[in-house]
Amino acid sequence: MSASLFDERTPSVRWGDPSLLDHLQRVRRPWNRLTRRIVCGILATVAPEDTGSAIVEIGAGDGQLREWLPSACLPNLTHSEPSEPFLQRLRQRFPEAHAIHAKATSLPFETASVAAVLGLCVFDSLPDLPTVRDELRCVLRQNGVVVHFLDLATNPDCLFPELIAHGEIPLTNFARDPALLAVLSDGQKALLPVTKDFDEILAIDGRAFAKYVTMLESAGHPLVQQLGAYRGLDPYRLAQEYMTVSADPAKLLATNKALLSLTLSARSLGRDWPIRSISTRDHLRAQLTSTFTKVHGFQIVYAGPVSAWETDATIPEGCPMLLRHAGQTRALKEILPLPGQPIEQWAGVPTVLPSTGPIRACTVEVFVAQSSPLAPREGGEGRPTGRH
């Protein structure tokens, strides 16, 4: 995402900027066909079979999800969107669509009147997920479903304040930067934190980080000037800086160099430097599965990545596999097993990747939960649902 989209505006204002939608369309375009296969395949399995059932989308934006939905869903679909500029774009793009202005915490539907609630890249942007869950449980009929798709990088606006509230500072994952790893000695690599390939974030103890940076600053060390937003602890500024830096290879390399130098110097001096690796998708998945629980009237059907692939002769020679996963695109030197569950398995069809390429493949993080009778809480009965 471009730096101009991540300034000092609040998250609610930034996510109402229509220029963001143009950027997201460009990012998604090469993967549209595969993403639509995943969306249609999931809904073919979990969506209501009766054609008259009401379906609601929350956080519809400009209608991107509508482009991927099965045509059978469209006559009964209501798009809801809290941003007026986004809603206007949706109505311009799809004049035939039924689109309303509404927040996910206050949906204008009767109790138990909706068969399915859909969302695309919404749950990672909601600061009050339990309130949204209760609203969805209220409008959903018995055995209704919540289906959420995440095809882009996870939005850090909600994760970063949570980490900082727990005393941690989120960093870009410099320990996986191939340009830096190529020039490090084995001894330097041994000082790096252990991290998985697609983990986007490192989190370090805030007190240890601040103590060391303060010491360097008091000594006039030039490294401090290279840390940018990491000299402060404002969660939204960190989230903005993270997204801006991640979208600019030159800025990302410079930031990763500074954080790498800081870590190597701290650990070589024997300083306390507790740092861990985080997958934002794993974090969101854990958050969803701990929020949509039986005691709140939901049964988890699926939570994890779903993959799809196709042959693609337009991929440059020497790249047998182009993979987009967890918001990152990788040109691989060999065909590797796809992360997550192949979409064909949802239809009971086995899938086998070819031994030679080139192939294009992507994953979408999918969450499906079904409404169920409220389980009794410890020491009392389950809370009844109803309109306020």
Long-range contacts of 288-296 (CB under 8 A, 24+ apart): 288/123, 288/129, 288/148, 288/367, 288/369, 291/129, 291/130, 291/133, 292/133, 292/146, 292/369, 293/375, 294/372, 294/375, 295/374, 295/375, 295/376, 295/377, 295/382, 296/130, 296/133, 296/134, 296/137, 296/374
Between CA 61 and CA 385 the distance in angstroms is: 28
37-60 per-position pLDDT tens digit: 999 999 999 987 777 789 999 999
Dmax (CA) for the chain in angstroms is: 70
Q: What are phi and psi of 101, to 5 degrees?
A: -90, 115
Between CA 211 and CA 135 the distance in angstroms is: 43
DSSP-derived letter for residue 283 is H
Q: What are phi and psi of 189, to 5 degrees?
A: -60, -30
Beta strands in the chain (DSSP E): 55-58, 77-81, 98-101, 114-120, 140-150, 168-172, 201-205, 275-278, 298-311, 321-325, 328-332, 341-342, 359-371
For the chain, the structural domain boundaries read 3-152+292-308+362-371, 159-279
As a whole number, mean pLDDT of residues 211-231 equals: 89
Yes or no: say if 278 and 360 are a contact pair by the CB < 8 Å rule.
no
Lowest-pLDDT range, 60-69, 84-93, 212-221, 371-380? 371-380
pLDDT of residue 354: 87
Q: Is residue 235 very low, low, confident or very high in pLDDT (cuts 50, 70, 90)?
A: low
pLDDT of residue 376: 58
152-167 per-position pLDDT tens digit: 989 887 888 889 889 9
- Among the residues of 50-177, which ranges form H helices? 64-68, 84-93, 129-139, 159-165
Angle between helices 206-218 and 249-268 (to 10 degrees): 90
CATH architecture of 3-152+292-308+362-371: 3-Layer(aba) Sandwich (3.40)
For residue 299, give every residue at least 6 positions away whose Cβ sits within 8 Å of its Cβ, in sequence order, or none. 369, 370, 371, 372
pLDDT of residue 381: 41
| Bridge partners, 341 (sequence order) | 306
As a whole number, mean pLDDT of residues 341-365 equals: 91
Per cent of the chain over pLDDT 70 is 90
